[in-house]
Amino acid sequence: MKTPTPLEVEIKLALPPTGPAALNQHPLLASVPVSQHALTNTYFDTPLGDLANARIAVRLREVDGKVLHTVKTAGQGSGGFSQRQEWEWQVTGPQLDLMVLAKLPPFQGELAQALPSLVPTLRTDFTRRSWQLISGLSSNATTEASNHIELVLDEGEIISGRYRTSICEIELELKKGEPEALWTLALALAAQVPLRPSDSSKAARGNMLSAQHWPLPDAQTPTEWLHRTTLTLDAYHDSQQASFLAEAHQAIKTLAEHPELDATTRTYAQVLAHALDAQGQPQAAYGSAALALAYRLAYQTALR
């Protein structure tokens, strides 16, 4: 099992259908070995959705003949960047490990009573290709690298009741080093790969898909308007409801006109308004502008 206070730090990037091919041709990955695995994931909740309401995910993952048990808390962040607590350990079979779950911090309060009622609620089945990116090596070969990022490309689908939606996304997870390395890599990818930040986990997407309800947060600050924009685009692509695409364009407009933006951040926000196609997919400029804006806003606030 991971450390008592594990922290997952990552950037999530959604891709259009052309994205995977562009990623595979990126020069940063040309000489890096790639591994590929089929992942079958089952998420659990109570019939009343207590874990979804608490923004906690409990998952069993089957990969390479092993079963991994995972618990994740809600991510804190915006513009694709998030930090969350995560616990993961191997189990002997596809059954919940209720004894270990009961010892974890998320289940020390009222949620402890939910454990006996957990049942499978949704699945995510996808193929994962992963690259281990190491940077910052010194001239001394025995010195450890300063940054280690795992880049994964997930392609598959979310199955929630009678509803399905596609998975086509990149996750950049910081294994060792500084968060700035994630932003640097994300911006380098965006220079050649059409992409957009995503603030919705697979579990959250599945829960909203099942409920056919995609709530949006209120927004006042630039960071909140960027987060609303990102979630609205996530909602549009999973729901295919045109109202969400219109709402995304309105959120971008409000963000670009926000009085708290400086000249640089306003320029990035203005790019967003013209960098989505008619299907809400990111054109080349969208990812670079959205990530640059998210980075500047994050490092001007407590998101760091």
pLDDT tens, residue by residue, 19-72: 999 999 999 999 999 999 999 999 999 999 999 999 999 999 999 999 999 999
| Nearby residues of 214 by Cβ (< 8 Å), 6 or more positions away | 208, 231, 234, 235, 238, 239, 244
pLDDT of residue 1: 47
Confidence label for 144 from pLDDT (cuts 50, 70 and 90) = low
CB burial class (10 A; 0-12, 13-18, 19+) of residue 67? Answer: middle
The mean of the pLDDT values for the chain is 92
pLDDT of residue 142: 46
pLDDT of residue 139: 41
Confidence label for 83 from pLDDT (cuts 50, 70 and 90) = confident
Q: What angle do CA 242, 247, 252 make, to 5 degrees?
A: 130
CB burial class (10 A; 0-12, 13-18, 19+) of residue 215? Answer: exposed
Confidence label for 84 from pLDDT (cuts 50, 70 and 90) = confident
* Residue 297 in this model has a pLDDT that exceeds 50: yes
- The better pLDDT of the pair 292, 146 is held by 292
Query: Which among 150, 112, 151, 117 has a CA at the least distance from the CA of 45?
Result: 117
* Residue 296 in this model has a pLDDT that exceeds 90: yes
* Residue 204 in this model has a pLDDT that exceeds 50: yes
pLDDT of residue 200: 94
pLDDT of residue 302: 38
* Residue 5 in this model has a pLDDT that exceeds 60: no
% of the chain residues with pLDDT over 90: 86
pLDDT of residue 75: 74
* Residue 304 in this model has a pLDDT that exceeds 60: no
* Residue 301 in this model has a pLDDT that exceeds 60: no
* Residue 127 in this model has a pLDDT that exceeds 70: yes
* Residue 140 in this model has a pLDDT that exceeds 90: no
* Residue 218 in this model has a pLDDT that exceeds 90: yes
* Separation of CA 299 from chain center: 19
Mean pLDDT in residue range 121-144: 78
* Residue 4 in this model has a pLDDT that exceeds 80: no
Q: What is the pTM of this model?
A: 0.90
% of the chain residues with pLDDT over 70: 93
pLDDT of residue 76: 77
Mean pLDDT in residue range 277-294: 96
